[in-house]
């Protein structure tokens, strides 16, 4: 019995201190988009990859819909491939859920802020090549893109814990219309941090429900 408990304790420690690596790569060339999200752990013995090589917008009677093709790769084998679309109704549903989440965010903000600070960003690169065909427009747009990139990276750097300096570039093309951009972001977090954040959120939710029940009982 003692050896069993000791082995269980060691297994729990291994799980808690297991780092999970998340790699996000997004690229856009003209109107073609490509998004790859990969999660790995234990020296890539555990690996799950989500790939969205097709993103397109089609007009419909109910409004524009976005079509996408997603491939799921697990342990170097493609386990799923699906083509789906995002309708206007789905977007409205997601928006209402987002609003509902914002109302609850005040209660969980300290927990989430601490959790995000535990996520290490080990690599962030964002390179863009663009041009409008007009030199004056391209020059003005280059400055705007630099400002937008700096603002976004500034917000992210205050949310996550950076372990390296972000690398960014904007390369103007003066004589032709062109748009190419690629973002690569590598993140690392420990399973224990995610478990701890989940436990804290659960306790806060239960505590909030208990207070509501006591308030309702007092009014009754």
pTM exceeding 0.85: no
Helix (H) or strand (E) holding 211: helix 191-219
CA 51, 53, 58, 60 torsion-angle sign: negative
CA 187, 192, 195, 200 torsion-angle sign: negative
Instruction: Find, among 119, 121, 116, the residue nearest to 190 by Cα.
Output: 119
User: How far apart, in whole angstroms, are the C-alpha atoms of residue 117 and residue 18?
Assistant: 17
In tens, the pLDDT along 165-216 reads: 999 999 999 988 888 999 999 999 999 999 998 888 888 777 766 665 556 5
Tens of pLDDT, residue by residue, the chain (220 residues): 678 787 888 888 888 999 999 999 999 876 677 888 999 998 888 888 887 765 555 555 555 555 555 555 555 555 544 444 445 566 567 667 766 766 666 667 788 888 999 999 999 999 999 998 898 889 999 999 999 999 999 989 989 999 999 999 999 999 888 889 999 999 999 999 999 988 888 887 777 666 655 565 565 5
- Residues 145 and 168: beta-carbon distance below 8 Å: no
Contacts of 16 (CB under 8 A, 6+ apart): 190, 191, 192, 195
User: How far apart, in whole angstroms, are the C-alpha atoms of residue 78 and residue 41?
Assistant: 18
- Residues 190 and 16: beta-carbon distance below 8 Å: yes
Instruction: Find, among 128, 134, 127, 129, the residue nearest to 174 by Cα.
Output: 134
Pairing of strands 120-132, 177-190: antiparallel
- Residues 77 and 95: beta-carbon distance below 8 Å: no
């Amino acid at each position: 019995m003692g050896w069993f408990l000791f082995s269980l304790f060691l297994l729990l420690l291994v799980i808690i201190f297991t780092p999970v690596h998340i790699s996000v790569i997004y690229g856009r060339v003209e109107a073609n988009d490509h998004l790859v999200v990969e999660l790995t752990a234990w020296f890539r013995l555990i690996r799950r990859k989500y790939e969205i090589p097709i993103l397109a917008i089609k007009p419909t009677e109910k409004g524009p819909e976005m079509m996408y093709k997603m491939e799921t790769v697990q342990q170097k084998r493609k386990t799923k491939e699906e083509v789906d679309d995002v309708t206007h109704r789905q977007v409205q549903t997601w928006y209402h859920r987002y609003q509902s989440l914002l109302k609850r965010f005040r209660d969980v903000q300290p927990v989430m802020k601490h959790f995000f600070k535990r996520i290490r960003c080990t690599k962030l690169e964002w390179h863009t090549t663009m041009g409008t065909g007009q030199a004056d427009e391209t020059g003005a747009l280059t400055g705007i893109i630099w400002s937008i990139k700096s603002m976004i990276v500034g917000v992210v750097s205050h949310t996550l814990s950076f372990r390296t300096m972000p690398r960014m570039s904007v390369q103007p093309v003066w004589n032709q219309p062109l748009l190419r951009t690629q973002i690569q972001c590598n993140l690392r977090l420990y399973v224990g941090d995610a478990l701890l954040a989940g436990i804290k959120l659960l306790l806060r939710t239960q505590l909030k429900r208990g207070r509501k029940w006591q308030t309702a009982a007092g009014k009754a």
